[in-house]
Amino acid sequence: MATQPTELANKPKSTSNWRDSDWKYRLGIGNWNPNQQSEAYIFLLLSLLGFVIFVVFPIVYSFWLSFQEWNLLSPPEFTGISNYTQLLTNDDTFRRVLKNTLFYAATIPPIQLALGLLMAVALNTGIKGLGIYRVIYFMPVVTNIIAAAMIFQFLLDKNAGLIPSWVWQFNEATGIRVIPPDFLGSTFWAKPSVVLLTVWKNVGFTMVIYLAGLQGVPEVLYDAAKVDGASNWQRFRHITIPMVSSTTFFLLVIQMIGAFQLFAEPFVMTRGGPAQASLSIVYYIYQNAFEFQKMGKASAIAWVLFAIIFAITFIQIRLQKRWVHYEVEG
């Protein structure tokens, strides 16, 4: 049987009588009992079980499902890779949603990063009422998406909305007839409108992370640059941007993933329309699964999406050496 170091282990370290204490104890030997592993596993079991049931199993199951045809009601039927081939070769809608999603991925993260950094830098100048600004800009992040989308619908509505109303007022005042864009009702403007809502909703989060990143930029660098006669822009370009590049990298990765998984914004604001102009990949997964009862196809799309996100994240991680600086002072 294993040794029982309990008595020794319980002995306070500060005891004056060092000679009484066991050398093993002082060297840290025997404090760890290999038999305690079983208890550790029991403690782990609960969360491990949750992980297996709610994460591992669904992932494996969806992979298996992507090779089946299943409408939830009758038993799944094996169809080989036909879900994938049909998706990649003969599905106009999938091509359209892929294009839409690439548009989201190409616009939302860059705009959010640029805007978030600008706001963070502005707020980092030590202006009065910093806390209030931070709250204001962060508010949309915790705003309910449905409420936010409804407000944007109100803002953008062609005839009754606030923003087009400025155009109408301009027309009235000048006698010129400019027709404001139909932001949510035209295939051209639907995607930018969704981007607008998404950026508005999430830029506060980007700003807060950047603010934290900026706190870590040592003041001495700016001071040194100032002494060397660097302008504001030069200091921003050559100190701020490189020094927060690790923050930028983190934000870029998660925002890119987020953009590929965009769902709620087009779902509540445009229903993916008009004419699927704002439909995203995840929305299309939802449609296939719960509107057309094609669980197999929905799973296949999910795995294609996984492959895309994996590839893009992988490339980002490989490229980070070229532009991300991790060196910290000292």
Partner 1 sequence: MSRKTISLIVMLALVFLTLGNVIAQETTVVTWAFWGSPEELATHQSVADAFMEENPEIEIEIWHQPWSDYFTGLQTLWAAGDGEAIPDVMFLSPISNYAADGVLEPLDSYIEDSGFDREDFWPGLLDFAMLDGEVYGFPRDIGLEVLYYNKDIFDEVGLDYPDETWTWDTLLDAAEQLSVVEASGRVSRYALGMEGGKYQLWVGQNHGSALDDMASPTSCTLNSPEAVEAVEFFAGMMDNDLAMRNAALSQAGGDAAVFTSGQVAMIIQNASRIPTFNAADMNYDVAVVPIPEGGQRSASAAGAAWTMSSFSDDKDAAWTFLSWLALNPEGGQRLYTESGEILPALRSTANSDAFLGQEGSPENRMAFIIEGDNAKVGRAGLFPQWNEINGTLIGPQLQLIWAGEAGVQETLDSICADVDEFLAGMD
Interface contacts to partner 1, rule CB under 8 A:
71-74, 92-93, 153, 156-160, 164-165, 168-169, 171-172, 177, 179, 182, 184-187, 270-271, 273-276, 287, 290-294
Give the residue with the Cβ less far from partner 1, 248 or 287: 287
* Separation in Å, CA 189 to CA 21, 97, 181: 77, 16, 7
Give the residue with the Cβ less far from partner 1, 80 or 126: 80
* Separation in Å, CA 322 to CA 20, 175, 312: 58, 55, 16
Give the residue with the Cβ less far from partner 1, 5 or 181: 181
CB of 294 to partner 1, least distance (A): 7
Which of 262, 280, 330, 304 has its CA nearest to residue 88? 304
CB of 183 to partner 1, least distance (A): 9
Burial class (CB in 10 A: 0-12, 13-18, 19+), 257: middle
Give the residue with the Cβ less far from partner 1, 190 or 244: 190
Give the residue with the Cβ less far from partner 1, 74 or 125: 74
CB of 274 to partner 1, least distance (A): 4
Residue where the block lists tokens 């504001």: 232
CB of 91 to partner 1, least distance (A): 9
Give the residue with the Cβ less far from partner 1, 167 or 221: 167
Burial class (CB in 10 A: 0-12, 13-18, 19+), 14: exposed
CB of 168 to partner 1, least distance (A): 4
CA pair distance 308, 301, nearest whole angstrom: 11
Which of 137, 182, 138, 179 has its CA nearest to residue 157? 182
CB of 111 to partner 1, least distance (A): 23
CB of 270 to partner 1, least distance (A): 8
At 330, is the secondary structure helix, strand, or coil?
A: coil
* Side-chain half-sphere exposure of 101, counting CA atoms within 13 A: 26
Q: What are the φ and ψ backbone dihedral angles of 11, each rounded to 5 degrees?
A: -70, 125
- State both tokens at 89: 């070769």
* Separation in Å, CA 222 to CA 5, 92, 112, 323: 56, 54, 25, 20
Give the residue with the Cβ less far from partner 1, 260 or 284: 284
